[in-house]
Amino acid sequence: MNFHAFVDESELSTGDSPGVYLLAAAVIAVDHLDTARTTLPALHVVVVRAAADECSERRRRLCLRRLLCELDQAGVVQVILERRQRRQDQADSQLLSALRAAKAVSNGLHMEHAAGTGEPLLWLPDFVAGAAGAAYRGAHSYLDQLTGLINMLKA
């Protein structure tokens, strides 16, 4: 069975959690993509990088590297990230190329960027990233609702 992963991010840069970057992925079987738009049959992976001394893009790159490797190992064939600026999206594509060249991910892993408003499945990782961010700040009730559906990793 093939899987697609929909990815969104959250950055905690204020208060008592500066320098925390979260990348969340909703992993959905290709056969269930249509039903996933109305229900929540997904597993979620969240990669966290906490390093106040690193720039935001470095934290993101390290999270994305770990996430792409994890998703590839889990059988994901397509990763859809929420679109950002063209330069940033190109950096994501370059990272994937570098990971392929280093044999850290397979050539079967593909990635694209999509507007969040155009792909409702990007809303799932947005919610999960928000719940993980809230838990990081001490409010666990949202993340608790995902118990058994989420795998938290560090980059």
Q: Where does residue 138 rank: exposed (0-12), middle (13-18), buried (19+ CB within 10 A)?
A: exposed
Average pLDDT over residues 10-39: 81
Task: Specify the pLDDT at position 116.
Answer: 87
pLDDT at 14 over 70: no
Q: What is the mean pLDDT of the chain?
A: 90
Considering Cα of 96, then 8, then 140, then 3, what sign does the dihedral take? negative
Q: What is the pLDDT of residue 114?
A: 95
In the predicted model, is pLDDT for residue 23 greater than 80?
yes
Q: If you write DSSP's letter for every residue of the chain in order, what string do you get?
A: --EEEEEEEEEE-STT-TTEEEEEEEEEEGGGHHHHTTS---EEEEEEEE-TTS-HHHHHHHHHHHHHHHHHHTTEEEEEEEP--HHHHHHHHHHHHHHHHTTSS-TT-EEEEE-TTT-GGGHHHHHHHHHHHHHHTT--HHHHTTTTTEEEEE-
What confidence tens digit (pLDDT) does each residue in 79-127 have? 999 999 999 999 999 999 999 999 999 999 999 999 988 898 999 899 8
Q: Which two tokens stand for residue 111?
A: 């990635």
User: CA-to-CA distance for 28 and 131, rounded, in angstroms?
Assistant: 19
Domains (range + CATH), the chain: 3-139 (3.30.420.10)
d(CA 119, CA 13): 27
Tell me the pLDDT tens digit for each residue of 54-67.
Answer: 998 999 999 999 99
Q: Which residues contact 87 (CB under 8 A, 6 or more apart)?
A: none
Q: Is the pLDDT of residue 148 over 80?
A: yes
Cα 149 from Cα 128, distance rounded (Å) = 10
Higher-confidence position of 88 and 146: 88
Most confident of 38-42, 64-68, 136-140: 64-68
The pLDDT of residue 153: 92
Q: Identity (one letter) of the amino acid at 78? A: Q
Q: Is the pLDDT of residue 15 over 70?
A: no
